[in-house]
């Protein structure tokens, strides 16, 4: 079984199964993708995400504001906490720092990230971190405000192995997306082979970043299998081993992940000694 640990189910393309979310999720389930974490980019979209989670017991959601999303008024720690609790979010984010674009000033991103980290720490929920070209500042804020007992994940990771190892030391997991399959991503594949397997997650970030051989198409959760296949090839292990271990990692990190929906999965992982 597989878990797509980061997907934007409310933003899937109309070109993906005709825009039919049920069909999109069924296509993933047919490939043994048994759990989905639908990620918030804004607090305004939480009601839609919550409705998706109500309709699909294998979907959980997060609550947060993306570092590049422009808002009229920055949410306080209390607003973030209340939003997360109101929809039963199992994680805070995605949040973080992105210096590739200039749409949101760095100082605003810093304060927003800090508030999310504090909210995650106070709620004892994992934090989902978006980081791009902001290695030193991201790590500095994680050191100061994150709780290593709760941790989180650096999602869609594309930075260097030194950053990944420091994040792991701080209690974080590293999630790899379809980028790991790109022809230009040799360094990322080396990282996929070098990091401890018990700290890796897999994701699609759909509808973005479709993996090889689906480049140029809107991404979808079913293609998290291609990410697992690439990592398995790099590590010289079976795809089933990657599927089982990354699923175990997901449930270990996201302790509130839909226990009713995943009870069979948990039993399987427990029998395999992974939980």
Give CA separation, 104 vs 14, 43, 97, 157, 165, in Å: 28, 17, 10, 21, 28
Q: What is the pLDDT of residue 7?
A: 98
What does R_g of the chain's alpha carbons equal in angstroms? 17
DSSP character at residue 9 = G
Structure tokens at 72: 């009229």
Structural domains in the chain, CATH included, are 27-216+226-271 (3.20.20.140)
- Establish whether the linkage from the previous residue to 94 is cis, with ω within 30° of 0: yes
Q: What is the pLDDT of residue 272?
A: 65
The verdict on pTM exceeding 0.75 is yes
Q: How many CB atoms lie within 10 A of CB 67?
A: 29
Nearest to 29 by CA among 40, 17, 18: 17
Q: Judge whether 176 and 155 are in contact, CB under 8 Å.
A: no
DSSP character at residue 223 = G
Per-10-residue mean pLDDT, the chain, length 275: 96 89 97 97 96 96 97 96 98 97 95 98 98 98 97 98 97 98 97 97 98 96 98 98 97 85 66 67
């Amino acid at each position: 079984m597989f878990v797509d640990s980061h997907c934007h189910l409310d933003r899937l393309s109309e070109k993906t199964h005709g825009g039919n979310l049920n069909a999109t999720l069924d296509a993933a389930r047919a490939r043994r993708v048994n759990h989905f974490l639908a990620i918030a980019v804004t607090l305004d979209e939480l009601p839609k995400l919550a409705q998706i989670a109500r309709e699909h017991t294998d979907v959980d959601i997060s609550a947060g504001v993306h570092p590049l999303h422009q808002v009229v008024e920055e949410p306080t720690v209390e607003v973030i906490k209340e939003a997360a609790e109101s929809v039963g979010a199992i994680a805070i984010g995605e949040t973080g720092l992105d210096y590739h674009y200039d749409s949101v000033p760095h100082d605003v991103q810093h304060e927003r990230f800090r508030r999310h980290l504090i909210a995650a720490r106070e709620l004892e929920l994992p934090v989902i971190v978006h980081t791009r070209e902001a290695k030193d500042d991201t790590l500095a804020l994680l050191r100061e405000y994150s709780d290593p007992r709760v941790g989180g994940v650096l999602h869609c990771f594309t930075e260097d192995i030194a950053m990944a190892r420091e994040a792991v030391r701080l209690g974080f997991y590293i999630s790899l997306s379809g980028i790991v399959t790109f022809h230009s991503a040799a360094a990322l594949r080396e990282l996929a082979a070098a990091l401890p397997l018990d700290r890796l997650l897999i994701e699609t970030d759909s509808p973005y970043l479709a993996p090889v051989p689906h480049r140029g198409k809107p991404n979808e959760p079913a293609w998290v299998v291609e990410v697992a296949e690439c990592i398995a090839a790099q590590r010289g292990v079976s795809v089933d081993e990657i599927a089982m271990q990354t699923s175990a990692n997901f449930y270990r990190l996201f302790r509130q992940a839909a226990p009713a929906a995943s009870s069979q999965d948990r039993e399987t992982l427990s029998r395999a000694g992974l939980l």
